Amino acid sequence: MTSSWNEEVHRNDPYEPGPVTVVERKQLAPNIQLLTVHAPVVAAKILPGNFVIVRADQTSERTPLTVADWDRQAGTVSCVFMTVGTSTYKLSKLKKGDVVPTFAGPLGKPFEVETWGDVLLIGGCYGIGIIYPLARALKEKGNRVISVIEGRSSFLLYWRERLEAVSDEVVYATKDLSLGDDRDAADVIEGLVKKGVPLQRVFVNGCTFLMYHMSQVTKPHGIKTIVSLNPIMIDGTGMCGVCRVSVGGATRFACVDGPDFDGHEVDWTELLQRRKSYLTEEIIPQSTSRCEEHAGNA
């Protein structure tokens, strides 16, 4: 019997040997998607902060996604991602029952979870999903967890009940003040410091600019700030060198040395430039494929 390319790929995948099927894919907020797949081998080992590398089809690039939740018994893993280019657009079109040709993981080092005391978790965009399992783990470890989620408006803030269930306090920050009293997470940090809350750690997840900005805000206060970097990746196992970042003057590979690093030591200028390297290649095919779709529906 001849095997399909999918079967060949799965046999060669060292992490998840069986076919990985989509259990659910839904929109959580505009441009923000939840993807849940059946991947029992990955689900059995995953920890907060680990990431997986996913491909929607045979021609997609390998996209790293940090996990947002899992169910070890059901063997499922969930990721939250933002649709930004061709490959994430393809991921956003997956339907229940579709087979994902690549789902490699767990990759990267998990978050360090210790008992520190008052910890602040900041999430924006897809980072809201990522801080959820971290909040849960930190709370279980006995920390006082304050979660801050920020966005332009309240309709962009998803998983509010979930975060409330695993945090001591959830603070909402919206640019238009449609929810919460603060316009962004920087205001929340300054407010907590002013109130004398003894923050021991700040964890930031979301776009590169958010992580850069929060690191700038916490630095003068001397609050250790951990960011989860999201450079371009290919293999995710330390072999290609594409994910290199400069931290504390040394070259590090985000996929194996991270993705979490001290935000006060990251060379943000270099990282922001490298993130833009393939923007054109990502955006142009995306708009072309959407035009073709519209033409097909006409």
The answer to the question of residue 242 lying near ligand FES (CB under 6 A) is yes
The answer to the question of residue 253 lying near ligand FES (CB under 6 A) is yes
The mark string for 178-217 relative to ligand FES (x by CB under 6 A, - otherwise) is: ----------------------------------------
Long-range contacts of 248-254 (CB under 8 A, 24+ apart): 254/108, 254/229, 254/230
| Minimum separation from the CB atom of position 62 to ligand FES (A) | 8
Dist. CA 147–CA 159, nearest whole Å: 12
Dist. CA 267–CA 245, nearest whole Å: 7
The answer to the question of residue 243 lying near ligand FES (CB under 6 A) is yes
CA distances from 89 to 21, 55, 93, 237 (A): 18, 11, 7, 24
CB 103 within 8 A of CB 42: yes
| Minimum separation from the CB atom of position 181 to ligand FES (A) | 40
The answer to the question of residue 259 lying near ligand FES (CB under 6 A) is no
Dist. CA 242–CA 248, nearest whole Å: 19
CB 63 within 8 A of CB 114: no
Among 121, 131, 255, 271, binds ligand FES (CB under 6 A): 255
The answer to the question of residue 234 lying near ligand FES (CB under 6 A) is yes
| Minimum separation from the CB atom of position 54 to ligand FES (A) | 14
CB 89 within 8 A of CB 59: no
The answer to the question of residue 118 lying near ligand FES (CB under 6 A) is no
The answer to the question of residue 291 lying near ligand FES (CB under 6 A) is no
The answer to the question of residue 277 lying near ligand FES (CB under 6 A) is no
The answer to the question of residue 229 lying near ligand FES (CB under 6 A) is no
Which residue ranges make up the site for ligand FES (CB under 6 A)? 233-236, 238-243, 253, 255
